[in-house]
Each structure stands twice: as structure tokens, then as C-alpha cells.
Amino acid sequence: MKQKSEWKTSTGFILASAGSAIGLGALWKFPYMAGMYGGGAFLLMFLIFTLCVGLPLLIMEFIVGKMGKTYTTYIYERLVGRKWLNIIGWNGNIAVFLLFGFYSVIGGWILIYIIKVLMQIIGVDPGQLGDIHFESIIGNPVITMIAQGVFIALTMAIVMFGVADGLEKASKIMMPLLFICLILIVVKSLSLEGSMEGVRFFLQPKLDQINLNSMLFALGQAFFALSLGTTGMITYASYASKEMTVKSSATSIVLMNVLISILAGLAIFPALKSFGYEPEEGPGLLFKVLPRVFMHMQFGDIFYVIFLVLFLFAALTSSISLLELNVSNVTKNNNNKRSVAALLISALVFIIGIPATLSFSTLKDVHFGAGTIFDNMDFLVSNILMPLGALGSTLIVGHLLNKEALQTYFGNDKFKLFKPWYILIKFILPVVILIIFIMQLI
């Protein structure tokens, strides 16, 4: 008999979905993207895209998940009756598979840092937080590949336990702790000498720094941060109970994502300016700056370990959703096959992720397209596959699904929001996504 996954509570669903959305998108990627593309200008564009594009699309994906109640490589065929529309689900499946491949690289870095700091605390590796050299760590191909494999194995173990027993229970504890820890870092970062220059860089938009390139990456970050276009949120919503309210759940997740992104920026940029780093440090920004912040705190090494563990959990909540989508499609929501599917997919992800890991060591001189192999995997997922998935979903929902059924799943509408939301999904967002997509290819 088939056993289908299901969330036990709405709170568990919201926190797990928020964890999937927030994860490395808000804590790791947002600060370095903001640093590379204009600080406050990037933040302004990110907020606009998140609220005007991200929120309506997230509501749409939740509605599709609740309506379809099945795995995403079949859900549109079930809703519309046209088999070829399953290509949208397969696009999302490929996107999250590739995304997990390079995402696990960062998860491995976190594990290495946890071990490194613990060794310093117990005296096995003499030194202090400021002595941790990011480039030498990621430049070791053997250690980074092992760490990547361990991170994938942790993700696999949680997915094997299933939705309620694995992810939901952990999310209720770890997500609030991460939020508290991040606030403490922000307070300390703001107290550093010269920190206000970093605050101004992050919060004061310079309109002359808004250009096509920065707009494209801000839109890509809005998709990446909310896991849009991969059908991952459709999968999570398909596990939700009838009592789950679409609008309030989506709004809560978007607001948490925006808040964590802003807190991450306030934790990084004041310290960055104080310690003399350049905003364009790239993917290693978080790992270079935060150890220096904790150096200036009493018991900083202990607090840093706590932060890294919570950061690891944030990464896991995202990677779990990536693996969960693939497992859901392979098992066709039959939990009896979950363990074998999780093991096989995890092994394939590890293989596909090896070139991404080696992009910072053995293959660091291999450059093409968007940059390194890691950069190209990121660009392909964030700026091509995710927008394509979102475009396909908006066209199906806006033009092929029954409007009255959509309104029913939209829920209580005392503020008359369904009509403007429907117009956005049917007419405006497909055009916006398509234009920006074509412009970036040109």
C-alpha cells in the first residue's frame, strides 16, 4: 500500500518551506550578489522583484500543489489533461538536480569550517578565527569533495525519514534559533568601527548602479531565494493539509526571506567595510568576513560554532527540498520506495557536483560563459531553468486552469486580491519574465 508524505501542522509546513526558501539563498548568496551588483541598488531591485514577482508566483505554486496533490512530473497532466505539459515538471526536476550539485559544495564548506573551529577550541589546531584562510580550504580538492559527500549524505538521511519525522520536527527548533543568532551577529557587526559606511553601501541605493545586468541578477536572486520555477514549492504544497491557507503561508515565507536577507546584509557589509574587504569578494564573502566578526566577541569561537551549526541546518533545509523533489518524482509519492530512491539520486548528485567542487581547485582555470564550472551551473539554474519553469507555470495556470477553481483555492478574499493576482499571472508576469529572459540571452 502506498504511503504519501504529509505535513502534520501548518506551522511545520511554513517553517520548512521558509527554510527551503531562505537556506543559502538569503544567508550565503544574497550578500555576495548584493556586493557584486551595487549594494543598495541591488537590494532595492531584489525587494521589488520579490514582492511584485516572487510573491504572486509563490502563491501560484502553492495553489497548483494543493490542487494537484501529486508529484510534479505528472501534476500538470493531472490538472489539465495534456501529457506534454509534464515538461514543466521535468524542467524543475533537472533544475533542482543541478542546483543540489553545486549547492552541496557550499554545504561542504560549512562542515569544514565547523571542524576547523572545533579543532581550534580544543587546542588540536592552534590559532584563532582570523587565521582561517578560505582560499586554502576550498583549494584542497580531496577535503572539499569529502565534505561535499558528507553534506549530501546528511541530506539523504533526513529525506529517508520522511517529511513529518525528519524535516518538520527539525525546522520548528532550528529556524527560530538561526534567526536569534543572526540578530546577535548584526548587533556586533554594527558596533564595529567604520561599520556605518557598510550600512550606507547596503541600504542607500545609488540609481546610477541600476543597469540591465544588475536587474537580471536581482531577478535571478528573487527566483533562487524563493525556490521558484523548480516546482519544489509545488511539491511541498502537495503535502499540505486542506487547512493550509495559501496567501498567508506565501506571505509569511516571503517576509521571512526578505527579513533574513536584510539581516544577512547588515551582518556582512558593516563588518566588511570595517575590516577592509571589497564588496566584490564573491561566493567566499560570508566565510571570509564572519570569522573576523566573531573574533571581536567574548567566547566568539563558541558562538561561531553555534552559528555554523545553524547555518548548516539552513543549508540542509534547502538541500532537503531539492532532494525531496527528485525523490517525490521517482517514487511517485510512494514512501515505500523513498530510501532506495534517495540513495541512488544522492549518489548521482555527488558525481555531478564534483566539477563544481573542483572549480575552486583543480579546475579553477577552466572558464567559459558565466565563469567557472560552478558559476555556469549557478547561472543555468538561477537565470535560465528557474525563469523558464516559472514562465511555463504562469501560462498554464493563467490560460488552461479553471478560473473558478483557482479562486476557490486562493481562499478568503475580503480584500479583493484575487482579480489583480489573476491578471498578474495571466497577462503581466509571463511578458515580464519572457522579456527579461530574452534580454539576458542577447
pTM of the model: 0.89
What nine digits make up the cell of 249?
A: 503561508
Task: Write the CA distances from 316 to 171, 176, 333, 350, 363, integer angstroms.
Answer: 10, 15, 21, 15, 26
218, 36 contact by CB (below 8 A): no
Kindly state whether residue 285 falls inside one of the protein's structural domains. yes
Amino acid 143 reads I
Q: What is 53-79 written as a DSSP string? A: IIHHHHHHHHHHHHHH-S-TTTHHHHH
Counted domains in the chain: 1
88 occurs within a structural domain: yes
Indicate whether 17 belongs to any domain: yes
Q: What pLDDT is stored for residue 163 in this prediction?
A: 57
Exposed / middle / buried, residue 220 (Cβ in 10 Å: 0-12, 13-18, 19+):
buried
The answer to whether position 23 is within a domain reads: yes
Predicted confidence band of residue 180 (pLDDT cuts 50, 70, 90): confident
Residue 111 pLDDT greater than 50, yes or no: yes
Mean pLDDT score, 216-232: 88
**Overall average pLDDT of the 319-334 stretch:** 85
Rounded average pLDDT over 362-376:
94
The separation between the first and the last C-alpha atoms of the chain, rounded to the nearest angstrom, is: 51
Tell whether the model's pLDDT for residue 132 goes beyond 90. no
**Predicted confidence (pLDDT) at residue 157 exceeds the cutoff of 50:** yes
Residue 47 lies in a domain: yes
As a whole number, mean pLDDT of residues 147-151 equals 97
Q: How far apart are CA 186 and CA 103, in angstroms?
A: 25
Tell me the C-alpha distance between 396 and 85, whole Å.
8
How high is the mean pLDDT of the chain? 88
What is the model's pLDDT at position 178? 82
Picking from 227, 241, 207, the residue whose alpha carbon sits closest to that of residue 21 is 227
For the segment 375-401, the average pLDDT, to the nearest whole number, is 93
Report whether pLDDT(130) > 50: yes
At residue 167, the pLDDT reads: 63
* 216 within domain boundaries: yes
- Residue position matching grid coordinates 500538470: 76
pLDDT at 166 over 80: no
**Does residue 1 register a pLDDT over 50?**
no
CB 159 within 8 A of CB 323: yes
Give me the helices (H) in 296-441, please. 300-331, 338-358, 373-379, 386-399, 403-410, 418-423, 429-441
The answer as to whether 82 is a domain residue is yes
Query: Closest Cα to residue 284, out of 162, 160, 292?
Result: 292
Which of the pair, 131 or 261, is modelled with greater confidence? Answer: 261
CB 239 within 8 A of CB 17: no
Domain boundaries, position 39: 10-98+164-318+381-440
pLDDT confidence band for 294 (50 / 70 / 90): confident
Q: Between 242 and 345, where is the model more confident?
A: 345
Mean pLDDT on 105-124: 90
The pLDDT-based confidence of 12 (bands split at 50, 70, 90) is low
271 in a structural domain: yes
Alpha-carbon torsion angle 300, 306, 308, 311, nearest 10: -130
Work out whether the CA dihedral 334, 340, 344, 349 comes out positive or negative: positive
